[in-house]
Structure 1
């Protein structure tokens, strides 16, 4: 294999990827992901495992998958082909394919004991996402580190995008220099796709190598934005003055992450819904979105699980996670109910505990129900019970900077290496108001 200098903007991988386990890289066969594979192989500091998802949407998809396998063999990486099988939807195909792809990738990573999956999003993808959001899409802004968007099944798998400062054309130049071919998926030029239309409209504007492109949204200093007193109970509290001072795009991103994480789901809200929520915040009054309840109160904006939504939909049970919000190691999630369903069955002591908590967090807390006994889990020193809401919120907003900061993010008693200036946001529960 020929060697060539890495494109301008390629980061210091040894600083970001400071672990020692194997890395996964998702490769479709397109120029971006093939270039990333060869650059990771040239870096040469970690064992690589290549995952390729065959969506079965193109007659040539099997050949594309085989070509990725050949690339993996050429660089000495392990290769796994993943297949999206079953019926495909007649509408919303792109979104369904994305969810299926991330589900397959997360499952494969977890089965292989891999926590970091490298993706090949570029500066051009940031520009496209920015324009798509301006046209009403709920597409997220690519960032260097983020948790798997499949939740809770993707818990513990983190996506790393090392190419966000690199231009797409520079990657193709790199591949030409080292004599490596790639595939151009015709779906990328299908005008039925918003992304394809946006890509075509931006192509002339950003064709020059030095043309400016929008970078990821700047985020505020989270310790100045977030009040953490009741974080262990699944409550995200934002300081109203800090929120209202944010640029609108930043505020929308913070709200999007907050309602999804507090709601325990993974479906992003539509932009119009977020804009409506942001506009209504100054007026006060409770609102709901994505399974969350948003309630401005004095100088704070509280965002937490909507008990009414739990009452309508059974809480998701997956891999020792209840309702997408709590790790319940050693407990069966099927034995857990929300307070709003069993309040009358609680002991007088538990009802007193509830009365001491803010009203907004009471109805959605977990209760262990076995036979004729119901116990409010937060009222007991329960080992193995951890709230995932705030760590997930932090991760979604890009607080992770290095691989070493990932250790124990979901399911431990600390938030390592991220916010040393304030208490760890999500400790094991040791009774109301008590922190380790």
Structure 2
């Protein structure tokens, strides 16, 4: 469609779609998450128009609607999206979140279910990525929400990344993070397309809705340059991990005090807090108050111990040792042929024919001996061994054990790919999958 048919606002939408498609290392199938709201519908239509108008025949689109089953209207909305896609010749599939829904933490559970279903759909359609329609409006809301829970220069204040690796298997890309919702709606209106309004978007019970209403009069990018700064900081933190961190038997990390004591520096803080989260099997960095306590403890440069995020931080002259606190450790049963994550730290695959139980190791002497042989102080080894998994029921030929980096393994923002790869290497794991696009978070990206 010729550019002159569009207003400047609508053309901005098409330009963003074109720039996104031009960033791919190689063309392929793209799975677009479409709810029927204005943002996702505009994204799908813009990508479809650019592919059709610019001779990008090597790209193909498939739309996927996730029906969470939380509202009686959702199934009808999914059918309406299917009809819209049929008019434009775009394949469409529906994935439904089945099973019991949690009474608490529903939004977080729905988010993880949505990404899991999209990842499965991407595999089924052989898509090289999933794209979602998060906008500049969503970005501003996210930053304001995080600001109240973070230190002034915290990593999260850079907002959402324009690329997230989900579950170590599929990249979820966000090409509209610098596009205003009003521009998308202008584009749809010019195309004569309507959209659905999710009633949860006006429910003030949700923090995001309250923030959205407070920000209603603001426009403009909320994180100019912040994404690039975070990427660069992540690179520097990755170098600190390579130079100053050592791992022992996947149970202990020793960090050079020169890094640990310098948490006023944002790069050092990211390195320390990332390693603490992974040692504790956590999916998020520790909160700002705990981080302050930890920084104050390390600044004293005195031998001693404190706990933070299920982790013991053991300060000694030979280094700062991080190991899992010996409490709230799970006892799980792994069925034959199944895999389970134990304590957020180890993925255990049972290749045998019988179920096995995995709890805390009983024969700690063997674990302690291995740790000491690897160069760990005896006192540290003895304490850390209390939080080791008992793998004695697993035969060497019928099991596989892999370290889990809970901080990154489910949602890995492109910002943090470098430090995640460096920590994966520290634990003897392969690097994470590279993004399918060029120039993510460079000076030519949406973050400048």
TM-score (norm 2): 0.68
> 1:389 is matched with which residue: 397, 405, 424?
405
Equivalent pairs, count: 382
2:136/2:179 contact within 8 Å kept: yes
Quote the residue 1:205 is aligned against: 218
Cα distance in 1 between the residues matched to 2:112 and 2:372: 40
2:165/2:171 contact within 8 Å kept: yes
Quote the residue 2:93 is aligned against: 80
> 1:240 is matched with which residue: 260, 265, 282?
260
1:31/1:172 contact within 8 Å kept: yes
1:123/1:165 contact within 8 Å kept: yes
Shift of 1:200: 0.7
Quote the residue 2:30 is aligned against: 23
> 1:222 is matched with which residue: 223, 230, 237?
237
- Secondary structure (helix, strand or coil) at the match of 1:82 reads strand
Shift of 1:133: 1.8
Quote the residue 1:354 is aligned against: 371
Quote the residue 1:428 is aligned against: none
1:54/1:65 contact within 8 Å kept: yes
Cα distance in 2 between the residues matched to 1:232 and 1:415: 21
The farther-off stretch of 357-366 and 17-26 is 357-366
Q: Which has the larger radius of gyration?
A: 2
Shift of 1:104: 2.8
Cα distance in 2 between the residues matched to 1:67 and 1:411: 48
- Secondary structure (helix, strand or coil) at the match of 2:205 reads coil
- Secondary structure (helix, strand or coil) at the match of 1:244 reads coil
Q: Please provide the CA RMSD for this pair.
A: 4.4
Q: Deviations over 1:365-386 (max 9, x none)?
A: 5664247x7x7x9xxxx99765
1:254/1:397 contact within 8 Å kept: no
Matched, 1:104 2:127: no
> 1:53 is matched with which residue: 66, 70, 83?
66
Cα distance in 1 between the residues matched to 2:346 and 2:127: 22
The farther-off stretch of 257-266 and 20-29 is 257-266
> 2:160 is matched with which residue: 142, 153, 162?
142
Shift of 1:39: 2.7
Q: Deviations over 1:235-272 (max 9, x none)?
A: 6677335642129xx95x77775555444454x46xxx
- Per the alignment, do residues 27 and 259 of structure 1 end up closer, same or farther by CA in structure 2, a change over 3 Å counting? farther
Quote the residue 2:145 is aligned against: 132
Quote the residue 2:297 is aligned against: 283
1:288/1:294 contact within 8 Å kept: yes
- Per the alignment, do residues 364 and 109 of structure 1 end up closer, same or farther by CA in structure 2, a change over 3 Å counting? farther
RCO (CA 8 Å, sep 6+): is it higher in 1 or 2? 2
- Secondary structure (helix, strand or coil) at the match of 1:229 reads strand
Cα distance in 2 between the residues matched to 1:288 and 1:49: 45
Cα distance in 2 between the residues matched to 1:334 and 1:185: 44
Cα distance in 1 between the residues matched to 2:334 and 2:141: 33
- Per the alignment, do residues 327 and 242 of structure 1 end up closer, same or farther by CA in structure 2, a change over 3 Å counting? same
> 2:20 is matched with which residue: 7, 10, 13?
13
Cα distance in 2 between the residues matched to 1:229 and 1:328: 23
In the TM superposition, 1:286-297 aligns within 5 A as 286-289=306-309, 291-295=310-314
Shift of 1:183: 1.5
Quote the residue 2:301 is aligned against: none
> 1:95 is matched with which residue: 108, 117, 123?
108
> 1:190 is matched with which residue: 192, 196, 203?
203
Cα distance in 1 between the residues matched to 2:189 and 2:292: 49
2:16/2:175 contact within 8 Å kept: no
Cα distance in 2 between the residues matched to 1:352 and 1:70: 65
> 1:70 is matched with which residue: 65, 68, 83?
83
Cα distance in 1 between the residues matched to 2:405 and 2:75: 40
- Per the alignment, do residues 254 and 98 of structure 1 end up closer, same or farther by CA in structure 2, a change over 3 Å counting? farther
- Per the alignment, do residues 370 and 97 of structure 1 end up closer, same or farther by CA in structure 2, a change over 3 Å counting? closer
Cα distance in 1 between the residues matched to 2:314 and 2:414: 21
- Per the alignment, do residues 93 and 17 of structure 1 end up closer, same or farther by CA in structure 2, a change over 3 Å counting? same
Q: Deviations over 1:255-303 (max 9, x none)?
A: 775555444454x46xxx61122111231433232x5555566697665
Cα distance in 1 between the residues matched to 2:412 and 2:104: 31
Matched, 1:369 2:392: yes
- Secondary structure (helix, strand or coil) at the match of 2:32 reads strand
Quote the residue 2:443 is aligned against: none
Shift of 1:112: 4.6
Cα distance in 1 between the residues matched to 2:20 and 2:138: 20
- Per the alignment, do residues 344 and 88 of structure 1 end up closer, same or farther by CA in structure 2, a change over 3 Å counting? closer
Matched, 1:116 2:139: no
